[in-house]
Structure 1
């Protein structure tokens, strides 16, 4: 996940686990190099799945938020070609523009985005809670 690219306030454990997975994948790739086993690290951005149901903004497929099938078809095409990929061409563009700013800017933007997503979730949740 591209959550590995910067600290993500409000998603601290999730982002930290993605940093771990990147390091783990890269180390395994070197350990198994030459064994015939392909180890590739994927860093997707947002994909329209139930995992992102916390925000209506991510529940409509678009060029930058593909559905799972579109993402998987594209990601499979990178297997065995590159060691690291976003798996989807439009995510590659987003990835590039994500890593250009310094870390503090990326962290600030991530914090702002997560606050927006939290508001989306809380407004959806409060709309579905029964009134007592």
Structure 2
């Protein structure tokens, strides 16, 4: 097991969705929190709620992690607070949906910068503290990580990176007292689809709180990855049972935009 009491946990994308659900559950468990997101107003409102409800200290850092140098600024801000981090939860991210060349290229590049670049940089910067304190990292990936997803090509590829990266670090650092988990939810009831669009959702949406509880349980068990939901688990295994070409074609049929939605898509903060 892993006792979060008194531990310092950094949560990115911490103002809403899965990030806020992590913050609420960890505050209940007695962790000291540093919440990172773009909206300082939302962060401060959540911090006040958690401090009043659980008596824990919650610091906030308003930063757009897709911007150049943002990860280093977050790391410096945490150091300026005099904190050593026990656990890093890389939850910030967003998705784009639509035919590849109809989605703005700058937006897709921002998607890569946030989902991959910032995640790698933050992991790199905080890992020395985490190793000294025998803590860990939770990377929020997705069931999209297990197969190609037409019309969400960049998002799925970014989450495939997160899954592979996390499993590699799990194997590399497990003998050094560091836990690394890739948490892979399917569609989750969060503001994620406010920008990605409801057409990007597939299957019944899970509660963010259920995803978080599973993630913390898997983290405590030192799992390398965990998929939320039986149907999502079966879907994640499909590329082992069928050819990758078959799975990609099937995914394309399921995800193909309706004619009215074919023209464009934008992204959203990761649940």
Is TM-score (shorter-chain normalized) higher than 0.5? yes
Write out per-residue CA displacement over residues 56-113 of structure 1, whole angstroms, 9 at most, x where no aligned residue.
Answer: 7949xx8x42121122122222223222210345533443456433212211121122
Matched, 1:78 2:218: yes
Distance in structure 1 (CA, Å) of the matches to 2:254 and 2:245: 14
3-state DSSP of counterpart to 2:219: coil
Counterpart for residue 68 of structure 1: 208
**Unaligned segments of structure 2, at least 5 residues:** 1-141, 265-271
- Whether the 8 Å contact between 2:143 and 2:232 is mirrored in structure 1 is no
- Whether the 8 Å contact between 1:40 and 1:80 is mirrored in structure 2 is no
TM-score when normalising by structure 1? 0.70
- Whether the 8 Å contact between 2:147 and 2:239 is mirrored in structure 1 is no
- Whether the 8 Å contact between 1:4 and 1:15 is mirrored in structure 2 is yes
Deviates further, 81-90 or 100-109: 81-90
Matched, 1:17 2:17: no
Q: Which has the higher strand share?
A: 2
Write out per-residue CA displacement over residues 9-55 of structure 1, whole angstroms, 9 at most, x where no aligned residue.
Answer: 21111111112112211121122122221101222221122212411
Distance in structure 1 (CA, Å) of the matches to 2:164 and 2:191: 27
RMSD: 2.9
Distance in structure 2 (CA, Å) of the matches to 1:55 and 1:48: 11
Which has the bigger relative contact order, CA under 8 A and spacing at least 6?
1
TM-score when normalising by structure 2? 0.38
Q: Which has the higher helix share?
A: 1
- Whether the 8 Å contact between 1:4 and 1:18 is mirrored in structure 2 is yes
Distance in structure 1 (CA, Å) of the matches to 2:159 and 2:200: 23
Matched, 1:100 2:251: no
Counterpart for residue 145 of structure 2: 4
Over 3 Å counting, the alpha-carbon distance change for 1:79 and 1:120 in structure 2 is farther
After the TM superposition, which parts of structure 1 deviate over 4 Å for at least 4 consecutive aligned residues?
Answer: 56-59
